[in-house]
Amino acid sequence: MAIRGRPKTRKAFPRSDETPRDGHDTKPKQLGTKPHLSEFEKIISKEDTTRLLDYLLLRAKKAKTNRRKWTMNYLMVLTILRAGLRASELGKLRVDDCFLDVRPPVIKIAGKMRGDWEKDAIYVPEGFAIVLKKWIEKDKPYRYVFETKWKGFKKGIDRVTLWFRLKKIFKILKMNPKYNIHSLRHRYGTDTYRAWDKDIEMTRRQMRHRHIETTTRYIHFAKMEKEAAKHLDRLERQQNGKED
């Protein structure tokens, strides 16, 4: 008759205070830890932002079968760069939350219970409001601005799907492999701080942060200084006739 249970011949696992066997580390690996990113790796550069938008716009114009998909990809990236939405907020953005005819145009982000709906208002550029309004009028979404079909029902795009789409595009363009969708939000925070004349309180409200210390992590001062120096150098070269 077979004896059930754990066989006695199996070796016991070494304790934490024992010496590792065969050179193997006995410490358990921490799962789900994010790699440490430096300040310059958290934010996508201006040049890469321009490359990304140009590529998505070109694919949307030349696409024969998946034109709606590529157009939506372009507009979703543009929405993050111009409104600073998170991936989860982008999928839940409703048509009724976009007030694009008022001046200045406003997008309102609702919380879980939509209780802070009047509080979380984001001012967006008028040029972006015109583009987003054309998309809504042409696509005619039922509820959400960026809708996908699932089992015959329309729903907002899932944030995981958005992450995988953008990661694939970053790989095609051979960009920094550490870029992700949140790198666009870092770009938005830096550009907003510059556009609002370095008003950090207004930047905090636009990014919808509770504490201003969180906002400072999205304002990459060193990156701004580096980009400003490159821009001034480019202007100087143009004035001297060294660059067209």
What are the tens digits of pLDDT across the range 202-221? 999 899 888 899 898 898 88
Residue among 174, 230, 217, 163 nearest 38 (CA): 217
Q: Please identify, in words, the CATH class of the domain defined by 42-237.
A: mainly alpha
Any idea what DSSP says for residue 97? G
Residue among 74, 79, 188, 195 nearest 128 (CA): 79
Amino acid at 189: G
Amino acid at 75: L
What are the tens digits of pLDDT across the range 123-182? 999 999 999 999 999 999 889 999 987 766 788 898 899 999 999 999 999 998 889 899
Given a contact cutoff of 8 angstroms between Cβ atoms, the answer to whether 154 and 73 are in contact is no
Residue among 203, 183, 81, 67 nearest 132 (CA): 81
Amino acid at 240: N
Q: Where are the domains of the chain?
A: 42-237
d(CA 185, CA 86): 7
Given a contact cutoff of 8 angstroms between Cβ atoms, the answer to whether 179 and 170 are in contact is yes
Model pTM score: 0.75
What are the tens digits of pLDDT across the range 22-48? 555 554 444 445 445 555 567 898 899
